[in-house]
Amino acid sequence: MAKYTITYDRDESDAWIAQVRGVPEAHSYGRTIEQARERVSAALSLWRANAETAEFVDEVHLPAQARSLVRSSIQARKRADTERLRAQKSAKAAARALTERWNFSLRDAGEILGVSRQRVQQIKESGARRSKRTAKAAS
C-alpha cells in the first residue's frame, strides 16, 4: 500500500493549503483540515493510480506557540488517562473489600465511596468478568 505525507499550512485568508509530499502537482485547499484532506486526496487521484487505497499521514504545520499548547494538552490528557485507570483500580479494590471482606451492603459501600449502589455492583462485576476471562485464557 502506498503511503503519502500531506502537509497542511494556513494561508493569509486562514484557508488550509494541503500538499502531497513528493507529488508537487497534487495540492489543494479547504476552509478546514478535513475539507483540504478530501480535496487533496481527489487531486492525488489525478496523478497516481493508487490514491484510493493509499495511506495518508497528516503533517499539520502550526505556529510554535500553538504547537506547544497542543503538546501540553496531549500530555495532560495522557496523565488524566493514567489517573483515571488508577482511580478505577482503587475503586474496584475498595468496593470489593468493603462488600466482601467487611460485608458492607452495596448501598452502604456506595454511600462510603460516593457512588450509587448500582455503580458498586458494576465495579465488582467488571473485575469478576476479567478474572473469569483471565482464568479461561490461562487454561
Measured distance CA(139)–CA(132) in Å, rounded? 11
- Exposure of 101 in the CB half-sphere (CA atoms within 13 A): 6
- Contact indicator for 50, 39 with CB cutoff of 8 Å: no
Instruction: Specify the pTM.
Output: 0.69
Using one digit for the tens of pLDDT, what is the confidence trace for 80-124? 999 999 999 999 999 999 999 999 999 999 999 999 999 999 998
Every domain of the chain and the residues it spans: 3-61, 82-138
**Residue written as grid cell 468478568:** 129
34-83 per-position pLDDT tens digit? 999 999 999 999 999 999 899 999 999 999 999 999 999 999 999 999 99
Averaged over 12-33, what is the pLDDT?
97
Q: Find out if CATH 1.10.645.10 is the number for domain 3-61.
A: no
> DSSP for 61-120?
---HHHHHHHHHHHHHHHHHHHHHHHHHHHHHHHHHIIIIIS---HHHHHHHHTS-HHHH
